[in-house]
Homo-oligomer: A and B are copies of this chain.
Amino acid sequence: MSETGQPLSSNVPGARFPRLESGRLVFRFHAPDAKSVRLPAPGDSLGTEPVEFARDADGFWTGAIDAPGPGFHYYRLQIDGLLVNDPGSQAFSGYGLAASGVEIPEPGNTEAEFRDVPHGDVRSRWYHSTVTGDWRQLLIYTPPGYDAASSRRYPALYLQHGSGEDETSWSRQGRAGVILDNLLAASAAEPMLIVMGSGYPAPPAEPGTPPSPERIQQVIDGFGDVLLRDVVPLVDGLYRTKADRDNRALAGLSMGGRQALAVGLRSLEQFAWLGGLSPAVWVDGTAGRGWTVGPDWVQESLKASGEFRPRHVFLTAGSLETQFVTAIEDLAGMFTEVGIEHTSYVSPGTSHEWLTWRRSLVRLAPLLFR
């Protein structure tokens, strides 16, 4: 079969499919015994109606959908009703498992693309948690020049993933290090560390099980315990940080946005800068049992922080995820009411997806530590 177009950068090395061909995303794989193949699977976010694939005489199945928008999207193949990974794709932590994904380039936009600029390292560091008793991984972005500037100290952004993801998600799906490399090359942000740890203080619920309100509260509070008792002291001990509130930011996406705001607002002696990207914070009645808060949530949360106030709060959502746009509008109102400086950004034409959060990081990082 003749092939045009390009394999995706999210493919495993050597996999020719999935590939982009003239605005279509083409999938192909070998499954000689399968009876039917559909994509996208239910719940996936590729943005089109399911398409039935066709089988050729050699047992290869081929199908194409209109390419989704730029950025990263999780997906699975549906083969004879079973949701499975595409053998051509790398695996990415999402959906609470190791899922397939497609990386769709955005013509003309290289914010999150590798460029010929100085690059930082993303370090993997394992540690034994005094809170949970297990071994946990942190990923730490150190900016270009960190090794050579052997006495310089840096501020740190603590950046949290969403539900069903893990500490690798911001680096791989979010391309956080690449985004910072590019911002720093343009002198558009202060050189900083980015610390990415797991948002789960205990194993998450089985995929597909909606968590109870009690469990949600445990995930928020337990995350705070791990962050404050394990992660921040470890990072300040191992890396050359400026170890004070003015030089620490805490932000996250979705579940992680709720965690960042909830833990940050009551720990302002530790963090002066906060960010909620598509944060799961809904004012009474809007949505999401367990994630719902009262109209005085910000004011109430501040009480634990005494006289400390955030220097800036950054709120973002995608324009198509209207529930989250409402959430940040409600939050913006609450921050205004207590006189806290804040900025909102709505990513045009994006939903609850990584392009929203990449764009948010591009706009959040330049505001920090200035």
Contact = CB atoms under 8 A, between A and B. Distances in A.
Contacts of A127: 119
Contact of A128 (B34, B82, B116): B116
B82 A90 contact: no
A13 interface: yes
B98 A98 contact: yes
Contact of A87 (B12, B88, B140, B207): B207
A316 interface: no
A298 interface: no
B135 A126 contact: no
Contacts of A123: 121-124
Contacts of A82: 31, 33-34, 79-80, 82, 84
Interface string A178-206: 10000000000000000000101001111
Given A114-B135, A116-B128, A135-B114, A200 B122 contact: no
A33 B81 contact: yes
Interface in A118-161: 119, 121-128, 135, 140, 147, 150
Nearest to A30: B208
Contacts of A126: 114, 119, 178
A98 B81 CA distance: 21
Protomer copies = 2
A42 to B, nearest CB: 13
B81 A84 contact: no
Most-contacted residue by chain B among A79, A97, A198, A238 (CB, 10 A) = A97
A147 B238 contact: yes
Given A80-B34, A128-B116, A198 B121 contact: no
- Please tell me the size bucket of the interface on A: 35 or more
B12 A98 contact: yes
Contacts of A16: 206
Nearest to A82: B31
Interface string A296-336: 00000000000000000000000000000000000000000
A166 interface: yes
A14 interface: yes
A137 to B, nearest CB: 10
A302 to B, nearest CB: 32
Contact of A121 (B87, B96, B124): B124
A78 B114 CA distance: 38
A85 interface: yes
A240 B148 CA distance: 10
Contact of A13 (B119, B140, B203): B203
A82 B31 CA distance: 6
Given A13-B166, A32-B81, A147 B239 contact: yes
A344 interface: no
Given A82-B34, A119-B125, A127-B119, A12 B147 contact: no
B89 A14 contact: no
Given A12-B97, A14-B200, 5 more contacts: A33-B80, A34-B81, A84-B85, A91-B98, A121-B140
Q: Which 10 A-B pairs have the closest CB atoms?
A: A91-B91, A33-B81, A91-B98, A14-B203, A121-B123, A14-B204, A150-B150, A84-B84, A122-B124, A114-B135
